[in-house]
A and B are shown apart, each in its own frame.
Chain A
Amino acid sequence: MNSALFQFLNITIIAFVVWLIPLQFIPFLIWLERKGSAFIQDRVGPDRTDVLGFRLFGYIQNFADVVKLLMKEDVIPLQANRFYFLLAPFWSMMFSLIPLMSIPLAGSIHWINTTIHFQVVNLNVGLLFFFSITSMGILGIVLAGWASNNKFSLIGGLRSSAQMISYELSMAMSLITLLVVYQHADFQTIVHEQTGLYHFFGYTMCLPNWGFFLQPIAFLIFLVASFAETNRNPFDLPEGESELVAGYHVEYSSIKFALFFMSEYANMVVVSFLNVSLFWGGYEVPYVSTAQLIQSPRIVLLVLSGIIFIMGLLVFVVLFRHGWKQRTLYNGVKKWEPFLLGTGMAFIGLIFLILIPFWLHWNFPAWFPLALTALVQFGCLIIKVVFFCWLFVWVRWTLPRFRYDQLMNLGWKIMLPIAMLNFLVTSIFVILK
């Protein structure tokens, strides 16, 4: 196959996948937020909406929301600046979808004479590209705040611009520290550097060589700043629900409001991807390198089927016991989905395990280990990202909101000096090394 054509196809397909990831994450995160907050607040959460009896633990609620938001009347205030008012939500959404293009989803695969990249563009300034694009997203919020011609939204927009600029500084300082450590700005290399074990002054520790262990302070600063960047509680001042009604999107309705809503969640995903790629080894499976994964597909399959079986068993046991006690949801509707899911998962895992003697001696085709490795690494990345998305949800429903001046104090007087000091110390160490 023509190598140029192959590369074009490769990039197109991966770009499509990368574009779909945040979009697919959004309903999942909304579901996670609803069920997570319900779990934290001793509630049940959404469990009524269903399609043909399937309610998928409340996941179907998202579809109802989409339909509702699409059907709603779309109000544009007369006094608003129409062009910018319309531009703002699309701007926000667009710039929360683009940055992922520079994140590698799995290790590159060499097959026959070609290399398949699981990354749209391998920029040598990937980190800077990422950072500059996420900064552009702020403009959407500021535009919305200004164009709505509403005082609450204007204050929200002002707050967001001040907040994001202050926190971007400390975020940038913590990332610059990483640049000093890795000496590279492209994500492929950064992720690749994090394989193997952690070496601490010549001693090999039993920890993976992740950015978190190299730069814990930078990670903490990055984490706090990422909350501020995504406008999530305790830094959700631009929205400030109880203070500014809804902040910058107070005048938005229908699907334009939904775009802001979605861009918030997409931002969470994007920041989590960045976080994982920089500090938690990206797609790397801890303790296992890409080469090892490719060499031993049988062990990988064995472990995977074991995990599926145990998970299915757990889901089965927990949900079955739970469901047995309160089988009736409401109006006499029976809770049968947990049974189906649990038994299904356990059954698939069991079949895999039973068939061990058969597939252990199969001769896999040459592409199989490569594809399996990519899938496993991608799955590992997604699991890590989901964890950090859950962290966002967890913190949101746990902490109260900062006040504007306290937020500024934290950003300028505490985080920025610490980040700079961290940068200084790290640089000295790197030079001395």
Chain B
Amino acid sequence: MTNPLNPENYEATGLEFQAENTQSNLTFVNLGPSHPATHGTLRALCALEGETIVAAVTEIGYLHRGFEKDAEVHTYQQVIPYTDRLNYVSAIMNNVGWCKAIERMLEITIPPRAVYIRVLTSELNRIIDHLVCVGANLVDIGGLSNFWYTFNVREKVYDILEKLCGARLTSSYMRLGGVAHDLYEGFENDLKVVLKEIWQSVKQFSKLNNNKIFLNRTRNICVVPKEMAIAYGWTGPTLRASGINYDLRKEEPYYCYPDLEFEVPVGTIGDIYDRIFVRMLEIEESIHMIEQLLKKIPTGPVFTEDKRVALPPKTQTYGNIEGLMNHFKLIIHGVCPDQGEIYDVTESANGELGFYVISDGGKNPYRVKCRPPCFMNFAAYHEMIEGHLIADAIANLGSINIIAGELDR
């Protein structure tokens, strides 16, 4: 085992300091893997001069669960619950990402009501994700009460999701070809009440602009210029906070996003303040979108009738041999797309969530590669925090919203 603090092993841990540096007054501190502010298990080895971080190396993999390998030995439908555990804060968006990729592979179109439900629940999850991110970020800055102001609302959204899907956190609501079941009766009224509360919470939150300590802690801290954001392959709110208007919902519209009116909030310089408030503005936009969706949502089935993914009705299964065979093949073999490969993306709460799937025509994917948005965010972490203080590094980690489940997969 190599000791990272032994000067001989700097190279092994990635800190390639000159010989004179090893003799200097640098202090080496491990932020993580187990640290109250790491939001999971991450490690940042920092070389400190006083309290200033002069160099940092990040390390991931402490929460590696082998999602991609797991996907190779499960059928396409069995992977859906695993995607819940990627970004567990917005589980439904991962479901949607996976299902959308596989459905495109199978060339299935899902009924419009299912599309609307998918978008609606996705936007609800985006709200939750942003609330969690911002609330947790403020805890890192030291304002513990904000955590409850955002999380209380989140709990109410979870109550709705629990009624809808039967689970709060890992809902596995999506299926290949549609959604698990239709909206329950009274969903709309429940949602309207909660939307109002979210709106109040966001408005309340904007009062943070009057808090001098908060502004000092977040403005012009860990600035990420446009070029750097692009170079690291950032997407989502963090990219938009740097001033680039890029949103997959606008650039490559999918589902019913073209029918919705919404704006993409863009930051100016890309500091922590921008990253927090881009998220808060996105919550507002999501609320508008959900209101439109509730008005426009069509009636009809929520599951496709395509025999490749949909189980036949029970009368068919018990009534004729075709139905029985269909049922049998789907249960035993699962979905079998044609040989080929696909890369499909959705705009998840953190950014571009991509699934690259290769099929050899069998019941299991031949290979799955997941592109988690916060992997790219975390790649830039060491560069962002160099030259800043420890406190900034912690505040910054919250603002780029690292979800270790998604990062390490």
Contacts and interface: CB of A to CB of B under 8 A. Distances in A.
B188 interface: no
Given A242-B139, A245-B36, A41 B145 contact: yes
Contacts of A40: 145
B217 interface: yes
Contacts of A240: 391
Interface stretch (B79-87, B208-216, B299-307, B356-364): B208-216
Interface string A395-411: 00111111111100000
B142 A234 contact: yes
A93 interface: no
B148 A42 contact: yes
Interface in A186-245: 233-234, 236, 240-245
A236 B148 contact: no
> Which label, helix, strand, loop or mixed, suits the secondary structure of the A interface?
loop
B381 to A, nearest CB: 16
B35 interface: yes
Contacts of A151: 27-29
Interface in A365-420: 397-406
Nearest to A240: B391
B394 A242 contact: yes
Interface in B49-79: 51
A401 B142 contact: yes
B293 interface: no
Nearest to A400: B143
A397 B148 CA distance: 11
Interface in A335-379: none
Contacts of B325: none
A43 B148 contact: yes
> Which label, helix, strand, loop or mixed, suits the secondary structure of the B interface?
helix
B278 to A, nearest CB: 19
B145 A403 contact: no
Nearest to B152: A42
B37 interface: yes
Interface string B132-155: 000000111111110111001000
B392 interface: yes
A400 B51 contact: no
Most buried by B among A40, A159, A399, A400: A400
Given A243-B390, A245-B36, A37 B145 contact: yes
Interface in A227-273: 233-234, 236, 240-245
A241 B175 CA distance: 42
Contact of B216 (A37, A236, A243, A406): A406
B169 interface: no
Given A155-B51, A245-B35, A233 B142 contact: yes
Contact of A400 (B29, B149, B152, B214): B214
B211 A243 contact: no
Nearest to B390: A243
B330 interface: no
A400 B391 contact: no
B389 interface: yes
B29 A152 contact: yes
B143 A403 contact: no
B401 to A, nearest CB: 16
Interface residues of B, number: 30
Interface in A148-207: 151-152, 155, 159
Given A37-B145, A42-B152, A152-B29, A403 B217 contact: yes
A39 to B, nearest CB: 10
B36 A241 contact: yes
A241 B214 CA distance: 17
A398 B145 contact: yes
Interface in B197-244: 211, 213-214, 216-217
A319 B59 CA distance: 54
Contact of B211 (A233, A241, A399): A399
Most buried by A among B139, B148, B211: B148
Contact of B391 (A37, A42, A243, A398): A243
Contacts of B28: 151
A240 B147 CA distance: 17
A236 B141 CA distance: 11
Interface in B356-397: 389-392, 394
Contacts of B214: 400
B391 to A, nearest CB: 5
A301 to B, nearest CB: 42
Contacts of B37: 242-243
B391 A399 contact: no
Contacts of B143: 398-401
Interface in B286-339: none
Given A43-B148, A397-B145, A403 B36 contact: no
A241 B142 CA distance: 8
Contacts of B48: 155
Contacts of B211: 399-400
Contacts of B27: 151, 155
Nearest to B146: A400
Contacts of A403: 216-217, 389, 391-392
A21 to B, nearest CB: 29
B140 A41 contact: no
Given A233-B142, A243-B394, A245-B35, A402 B29 contact: no
Contacts of A401: 141-143, 213, 217, 391
A233 B390 CA distance: 17
Nearest to A399: B213
B394 A234 contact: no
Most buried by B among A236, A245, A399, A403: A403
A42 B146 CA distance: 11
B390 A400 contact: no
Contacts of B391: 240, 243, 401, 403-404
Given A41-B148, A403-B392, A404-B389, 11 more contacts: A37-B144, A41-B144, A42-B152, A43-B148, A151-B27, A159-B51, A240-B391, A242-B139, A245-B36, A399-B211, A401-B142
Interface of B: 27-29, 35-37, 48, 51, 138-145, 147-149, 152, 211, 213-214, 216-217, 389-392, 394
22 contacts: A37-B145, A41-B145, A41-B147, A41-B148, A42-B148, A42-B149, A42-B152, A151-B28, A155-B48, A234-B213, A236-B142, A240-B391, A242-B37, A242-B139, A243-B140, A243-B391, A244-B390, A400-B141, A400-B217, A401-B213, A403-B217, A403-B391
Interface of A: 37, 40-43, 151-152, 155, 159, 233-234, 236, 240-245, 397-406
Q: 7 closest A-B pairs (Cβ-Cβ)?
A: A401-B142, A400-B143, A41-B148, A400-B142, A242-B37, A400-B141, A403-B391
